[in-house]
Structure 1
Amino acid sequence: MAVDGSRGFDPARLDGVLALFGGEARAALAAAEEEHEAAARGTEAAVEAARGHLDDVMDAAVGKYRGSSGDADALSAATAAMDVAFNATTSNTRRS
């Protein structure tokens, strides 16, 4: 475009080609930046959703652990009561 076979090199035409290229490059860069921003927003939304799901799962697990801890305490108390009762009956039969 900047070189015309009959006239040689034309700096004005080169400036026009460079301006056209620069405009297309800026437009492509703006489109790429917008695509990147859209992907980043989508990723941030996915991370927030995953974080919420993880919080829910962790809360459920902690609740289940606390519940099983209470069950373990009740089982421990029942076992201790059975040991006391067994020891009481065993010592009574030994005395007889």
Structure 2
Amino acid sequence: MTTSAGSTPSPPLAAAVVRAFATAPPGGYQHPVLAAASALAAEHRMRAQVHRLLVIPDADAHAMTAEIRAEQRGNAASAVLIDRFDRWAAVELPERDWREPR
């Protein structure tokens, strides 16, 4: 596949994906890749919020521990979502070396 400029498209940056999935349609996304991307974007937003809370100088140690645990759960959830992308791609996309331009 090529773009209108004739070049091979590259995957979007993470920030672009997060912005693209800031909201979901009523009932959520039906396509498995869109559903996983939306969930991954939500995990990213949650992780960003945790990072903002962790830099508060006088934050309560118990609250910080809870935030760190939430971040760890978010990391695990993100890994599961990325695995969904990988499994979908393995089934749905034809074999090819994605490092080679078309």
Flag whether TM exceeds 0.5 (same fold): no
Relative to the length of structure 1, the TM-score reads: 0.36
- Per residue, is there more strand in 1 or in 2? 1
Query: 1 or 2 for the larger relative contact order (CA 8 Å, sep ≥6)?
Result: 2
- Per residue, is there more helix in 1 or in 2? 1
